[in-house]
A = this chain, B = another copy of it.
Amino acid sequence: MTGDRWSALAERLGTDLYLDLQPDPDAPTRGRSAQLRSRLADELRSAIADGRLAPGTRLPPYRSLAADLGLARGTVSSVYSELIAEGWLTARQGAGTTVAAGTTVATGFGAPGSAGASFTTVVSAPRVAHDFSLGQPNTSQFPRTAWIRSMRRAISSADDSAFGPTLPNGSERLRVALAGYLARARGVRAHPDQIVLTTSVLSALELLGRSLFRESVAAEAYGLPFFRDAFTQYGAVVSPIAVDHDGADVTALTDLTAKPQAVLLTPSHQSPIGVSLAPHRRAVVAEWARATDTFLIEDDYDGELRYDREPVGAMQALAPDHIIYTGSVSKSLSPSVRIGWLVLPPALVSTVMWAKGMREPDASIVDQLALADMIETGSYDKHIRAVDSFIDAAGGR
């Protein structure tokens, strides 16, 4: 597909849309169609996030887009379904597929937009069968050269002030880079000021347990025990949610007599069972969180690594005001680089920052600068693709 085709498409859509779907010349030819599918999804997300595709814009039927792009109909259809599940698009009977309201990522902090109403009609995308187990970091995959190069660039170009004490939310440069990355790669709606950097997902959960949820939390019955401990150590009672082949049985939440303050979920890849939360359940639990004003904590465990499954975006976009998103580089880079993050609903940011204290107490800022450089220069994405290829070659793990 050429830029011309996309220009034609953009003209039909009435927007100045240009999506670059050229395949990466360095990429192996094997898996080329999966690459194109992934690029289409990424480019559509970006176009929606930065306003090139405005809320309410009607997308062409997937059949005509597929013909236009020379892709299989099923490919475009599954991309649409994925973006619907992630909340970027809305499908209504008779109205076709349109860009959902409230999808443009806020450019000013404090203007998060109440995206709630636009996600009430979310269709169920077909569930993909998965076959993977709990992954362990592959230590031979640490991108030594890229890390050194990024560290050099980041340290050389940093202002002197970078080497002084840092505010509790961490490096601004990394928060800016990460907001862009998470929007692009995971569909997360994050303004940099909604991000609080931590040293790991565990430290992020402990911070939430300490500052916000000291009474009651619900969590997947088969979740990681030390994640539950992050809350119980500060006094919270943690109730189990059953897990089946569609992920956590969130429908049971509506039956609870006592509503928990927060619900901890791993929609991308439940550990250790390995299922991901089915799209219809994502919609149900996001709607329930909004209706009952409850917070969901989305641990995007393994979210960046795709193994052999279809990519599934983060759930956060379904209810940005009620979903706290957390992740880290412990699998994507290495557990020896201690960088994690929270993307918080704006209303929670000051409470969590206050709980951290005057300064960032633990996280290495020089590492944060190096990671920021990796993201800014595309080196991080390239590494993620390399790890995915490695996993593919190893039989999908």
Please, which residue of chain B has its CB at the minimum distance from the CB of A202? Answer: B361
Q: Chain B residues with Cβ under 8 A from A147's Cβ? A: 155, 366
Contact A361 B199 (CB under 8 A): yes
Contact A164 B335 (CB under 8 A): yes
Separation of A161 and B335 alpha carbons in the complex (Å): 11
Segment from A15-23, A138-146, A289-297, A304-312 that makes contact with B: A138-146
**A147-B366, A156-B144, A367-B366 as given contacts; A200 in contact with B334, CB under 8 Å:** no
**A200-B361, A336-B365, A363-B338 as given contacts; A164 in contact with B139, CB under 8 Å:** yes
From B156, B162, B334, B336, give the contact of A336 (CB < 8 A): B162
Separation of A202 and B226 alpha carbons in the complex (Å): 24
Copies of this chain, whole number: 2
Interface residues of A in 115-142 (CB under 8 A from B): 137, 139-140, 142
Nearest-neighbour CB distance to chain B for A195, whole angstroms, equals 18
Contact A203 B163 (CB under 8 A): no
Interface residues of A in 199-249 (CB under 8 A from B): 199-200, 202-203, 226
Q: Chain B residues with Cβ under 8 A from A338's Cβ? A: 360-365
From B152, B335, B359, give the contact of A166 (CB < 8 A): B335
Nearest-neighbour CB distance to chain B for A172, whole angstroms, equals 13
Q: Chain B residues with Cβ under 8 A from A165's Cβ? A: 137, 335-336
A-B CB contact pairs (8 Å), 18 listed: A140-B160, A144-B156, A148-B156, A151-B152, A163-B336, A165-B335, A165-B336, A199-B362, A199-B363, A203-B361, A203-B362, A226-B357, A337-B364, A338-B360, A338-B361, A338-B363, A338-B364, A338-B365
